[in-house]
Amino acid sequence: MIKAFVFDAYGTLYDVQSVAGAIDAAFPGHGDYITQVWRLKQLEYSWLRSMMGRYEDFWTVTRHSLSYTLGTLGLAANEDLLAVVADAYNTLSPYADAEAALAALAGYRRAILSNGSPAMLAALVSQSRLQPHLDAVLSVDGKRAFKPDPRAYEVVQEQLGVLPDEVVFVSSNGFDVCGAKSFGFHVARIERVTPTALRQALTGSGTVGPAALFKALRSQAETCGEAADVVIGSLAELSAVPGRWADSP
């Protein structure tokens, strides 16, 4: 029996693309490029930290990856400006369907499990309308390992008191889908960019821009052997998933 729906935060409930305005205000004309490369490096640095056994929290990772991205453009920022721009990750916009989707699952335990540090997640959730619909906001920080490291997913069982097969894990991130499925969760993947839409983005203009490249690298299902149990186009579809997850909590 399913007892809990656990959500990734960045890219699943909250739109990482919504940092673009703050970035373009600080670095005019570079909003799209910095938005995409910053996120790519943010994830890469989290994986490097886990694999090297040299953990630093996600706020530090976020700032380091921003510095890297600015460096590729020959841009520089003092500590104050870095902090201001990095803070855009603490004020991300929720996806338009996030609040209603969480509300529709009120009969289940609902939680976030995120790479974000506790302080980042507290800031992110408190400034949105999602907080009343969440029973827990969980960070991997106590495990000192980022998703998709199996240690990160252990937080769900330890904090919510549920077994992996009692959890539906929801993510739009391919690496997270793989990690959650490998850990033993049921997994719902949010496919916001279909393969057809991606091909159009990659071939339509004859030039592959940063946003299209990001979609190619981060929006599609991975092919490393751990597939989602169900693929849906939006969070709004979660409450209508038929069959295996339709049993009452």
Kind plus residue range of the DSSP H or E element containing 35 = helix 31-52
pLDDT of residue 77: 86
User: d(Cα 12, Cα 19) in Å, to the nearest integer?
Assistant: 15
pLDDT over 70, % of the chain: 96
Beta bridge partners of 114: 139
Beta bridge partners of 65: none
Q: pLDDT band at residue 246, thresholds of 50, 70 and 90? A: low
Q: What's the whole-number mean pLDDT along residues 55-72?
A: 97
Beta bridge partners of 188: 170, 230
Catalytic amino acids?
8
pTM: 0.95
Kind plus residue range of the DSSP H or E element containing 189 = strand 186-190
136 is written with which tokens? Answer: 């827990």
pLDDT digits (tens, 9 = 90+) for 104-159: 999 999 999 999 999 999 999 999 999 999 999 999 999 999 999 999 999 999 99
Q: Give the domains, in start order, of the chain with CATH numbers.
A: 4-15+92-240 (3.40.50.1000), 17-89 (1.10.150.240)
User: d(Cα 93, Cα 15) in Å, to the nearest integer?
Assistant: 6
pLDDT of residue 146: 98
